[in-house]
Chain A
Amino acid sequence: MADADLDRARACARSILVEFGVSAPPVPVERIIKSRKIVIQYAPLEEDLSGMAYIKDGVGIIGVNALHHPNRQRFSAAHELAHHVLHAPKISQAVHVDKGIRVLFRDDVSALGTEPMEIEANAFASELLIPSDLLATALEGGGVDLEDEAAIEALARRFKVSSTAMRFRLTRW
């Protein structure tokens, strides 16, 4: 399989944000999904399953593990939306189930042969929920100390993401 195309994934996320006119966090990921006529369904799944994506007879479905923390559910939803936007042919063939949030250790995971699809979906989700321009505004042109738990958490709360997702996003800032 070809290498992950992270630039394309992030560009797709940004064009959706522009199309939707998102100007302040938190990004309404559920409304974005619904506006694209994709059915989003929350259901209790085993702990290690984060979500799933599937297109059956033209009907797009996103499933999210309802037992996870709401902020994690938002990331899962964005990750599954990425599969619909970037990988529609693949998820039309079979149900695509995602396990875990190993997302946050990219090098580690890619070394283990994780599909480029997952890396792309994580890049998309990260950019969708924490867009570059909104992050820059939130940082007021400054930076943030990655060791400063309180500052990271406050930032994460504004974007309604987990602090892990925020820290991950900031490290590629």
Chain B
Amino acid sequence: MAGEALYRAFGSAVSTRRKALGLTQAELAAKVNMSRASIANIESGRQNVLLHHVYALAAALELTKVAELLPPIPQKPLVEELKMMLSNQALSKQTLSQNAEAQVADLIKSALQPRRGKA
């Protein structure tokens, strides 16, 4: 995934999760010792993020895995194999973005993985 798209996807995941928790940008900023402006820039994908910030953000957003904020590695062959059928509930954008397609393909892949653990 190109750098720009990666930061946008990360920022959008941070923003979505923050809103789901009912936090303001300032509240999140305080939790991770960053400025509100940095959070705003990260959320809009305009700021490159350091790895320890990724961990701090994941923890502040009450996630157990940093991966929940990270876009999946594109799985081209699988994405192409799966024809995405998009319900036309949305008014605009009838197609999925590349990132969304990769997310869905990734989800399907992990769902199809044999369950480990309990034999």
B27 CB to nearest chain A CB (Å): 17
Question: Do B89 and A66 touch (CB < 8 A)?
Answer: no
Q: Within the complex, which residue of A46, A54, A99 is in contact with B12, where a contact is CB–CB below 8 Å?
A: A46
Chain A CB within 8 A of B90 CB: yes
A46/B107 contact (C-beta < 8 A), A59-B112, A100-B90, A117-B87 known = no
Chain B CB within 8 A of A144 CB: no
Stretch of B13-21, B31-39, B45-53 at the chain-chain interface: B13-21
- Tally of chain B residues near chain A (CB < 8 A): 32
Chain B CB within 8 A of A14 CB: no
A162 CB to nearest chain B CB (Å): 12
Number of A-B contacts (CB under 8 A): 108
B16 contacts across to A, CB distance below 8 A: 44, 47, 67-68
Provide the B95-107 mask, 1 if CB < 8 A to any CB of A, else 0. Answer: 0110110011011
Question: Do B100 and A95 touch (CB < 8 A)?
Answer: no
Chain A, range 43-70, C-beta contacts under 8 Å to B: 43-49, 52, 54, 56, 59, 61, 63, 66-69
A91 contacts across to B, CB distance below 8 A: 85
A43/B103 contact (C-beta < 8 A), A56-B112, A63-B108, A118-B87 known = yes
Provide the B74-117 mask, 1 if CB < 8 A to any CB of A, else 0. Answer: 00000000111111111101001101100110111011100000
- Tally of chain A residues near chain B (CB < 8 A): 38
Q: Within the complex, which residue of A43, A54, A69, A115 is in contact with B88, where a contact is CB–CB below 8 Å?
A: A115
A97/B108 contact (C-beta < 8 A), A46-B103, A102-B90 known = no
Chain A CB within 8 A of B69 CB: yes
Q: What is the bound-complex CA distance between A56 and B84, given in angstroms?
A: 13
Q: Chain A's interface: helix, strand, loop or mixed, by majority? A: mixed
Chain B CB within 8 A of A114 CB: yes
B69 contacts across to A, CB distance below 8 A: 44
B64 CB to nearest chain A CB (Å): 11
Question: Do A46 and B85 touch (CB < 8 A)?
Answer: no
Question: Do A44 and B90 touch (CB < 8 A)?
Answer: no
A95/B82 contact (C-beta < 8 A), A54-B108, A68-B20 known = yes
A153 CB to nearest chain B CB (Å): 14
Q: Nearest residue in B to A99 (C-beta to C-beta)?
A: B90
Question: Do B104 and A52 touch (CB < 8 A)?
Answer: yes
Question: Do A97 and B86 touch (CB < 8 A)?
Answer: yes
Chain A, range 91-149, C-beta contacts under 8 Å to B: 91, 93-100, 102-103, 109, 112-115, 117-118
Question: Do A52 and B100 touch (CB < 8 A)?
Answer: no
A93 contacts across to B, CB distance below 8 A: 83, 85
User: Footprint of B on A, CB under 8 Å?
Assistant: 39, 41, 43-49, 52, 54, 56, 59, 61, 63, 66-69, 90-91, 93-100, 102-103, 109, 112-115, 117-118
